[in-house]
Structure 1
Amino acid sequence: MLPYPRSFSHIGLSVPNLEEAIKFYKEVFGWYILMEPSDVQNDDSPIGQMCRDVFGDDWDTFRIAHLSTGDKIGVEMFEFPQNEKPENNFEYWKTGIFHFCIQDPDVEGMVEKIVEHGGKQRMPIREYYPGEKPYRMVYVEDPFGNIFEIYSHSYELTYSDGAY
């Protein structure tokens, strides 16, 4: 028996400043706060133990907040005290996650808003099927170095007819 497709729950982002990141994602994408910023300690509380399981013993504290997208996907934001921005934040050839994608039919307007709020446009807006379908995409970056993509249409619509 084949497994059924599971739903996506949330993504975790590491940011240098929780308040600035929340402001950016609220103002640019309209995401809303589920849990205000709070401190997590490396202690014997349930959350302290859980985070120790994930991060190991070599941490004292960090801050966390939870946001949600319009389609109920969680965005967990972490601010670690000794955070550092990597020299190259786009090592796409390395195994692991190198971007996420947000959907909005107004790709141009989104890029404008991202740039106005301190982010970057990393490439020109491109069409997937020029002259055939209006599917557009662009890679961008938030002010904190997290790279993501903007799609004009759903993932399923964009790829449902097969390869390019």
Structure 2
Amino acid sequence: MSTEKRYPRTMSHIGLSVPDLEAAVKFYTEVMGWYLIMEPTEIVEDDSPIGEMCNDVFGPGWGSFKIAHLSTGDRVGVEIFQFANAENPENNFEYWKTGVFHYCVQDPNLEELAEKIVEAGGKARMKAPRFYYPGEKPYRMIYMEDPFGNIVEIYSHSYELTYSAGAY
């Protein structure tokens, strides 16, 4: 057995792809309440350090993209990308495919946040919030879709509280 100590790493950031960066910055700052920490910037394919790093990630021929950096209230970063060849699929919820299929935020008034998401052009993926412990605890959740096709889950309480007693 290994004597190596293991520890949980913290979440640094998530990257989201959107078809309209300026509209996304407006939505994520005004509706989600996230802080804008780097204004929208255009990155071009060239031999600069950032250009070379992007070549490593995307491969040659990516051309350019726009990016903005935001931060949540608990300091998790959110990079928002708008690529020149962005596609906004009719259905972005292919949960059976490998990869991230949603991000989750926490709001004690999740019903109000869900309404704001719909008012801003998003969609409800569920008819109403669900209770994890009906009649026992007030822990609720609901799945939504932001205006850019990204799936958003909203929890009323922290992840630890929700699952520590075994939600199922």
TM-score bucket (shorter structure): over 0.9
- Equivalences for 1:8-157 in 2 at 5 Å? 8-123=11-126, 124-157=128-161
Checking the alignment, whether the CA contact within 8 Å between 2:70 and 2:77 is kept in structure 1 is: yes
Taking only aligned residues, the RMSD between alpha carbons, in angstroms, comes to 0.9
User: How far off its partner does 1:59 sit?
Assistant: 1.0
Using the TM superposition, give the Cα deviation of residue 95 of structure 1 relative to its aligned residue in structure 2, in angstroms.
1.2
Which runs of at least 4 in structure 1 moved beyond 2 Å after TM superposition?
none
User: Structure 1 counterpart of 2:102, which letter?
Assistant: H
For residues 116 and 95 of structure 1, the distance between their equivalents in structure 2, rounded to whole angstroms, comes to: 30
Q: What secondary structure is seen at the aligned counterpart in 2 of 1:82? A: coil
CA distance in 1, matches of 2:166, 2:31: 32
CA distance in 2, matches of 1:105, 1:163: 18
What percentage of aligned pairs have identical amino acids? 70
Runs of 5+ unmatched residues, structure 2: none
Q: Is the 8 A contact 2:132 2:167 kept in 1?
A: no
Amino acid at match of 2:111: E
Offset at residue 58 of structure 1 (A): 2.1
CA contact (8 A) 2:11 2:76 kept: yes
What TM-score, normalized to structure 2? 0.95
Q: Work out the CA distance in 1 between the residues paired with 2:167 and 2:72.
A: 29
Question: For residues 2 and 121 of structure 1, what CA distance do their matches in structure 2 show?
Answer: 42
Matched length: 164
SS in 1 for 2:31: helix
Following superposition, the deviation at residue 163 of structure 1 comes to 4.4
The TM-score normalised by the length of structure 1 is 0.97
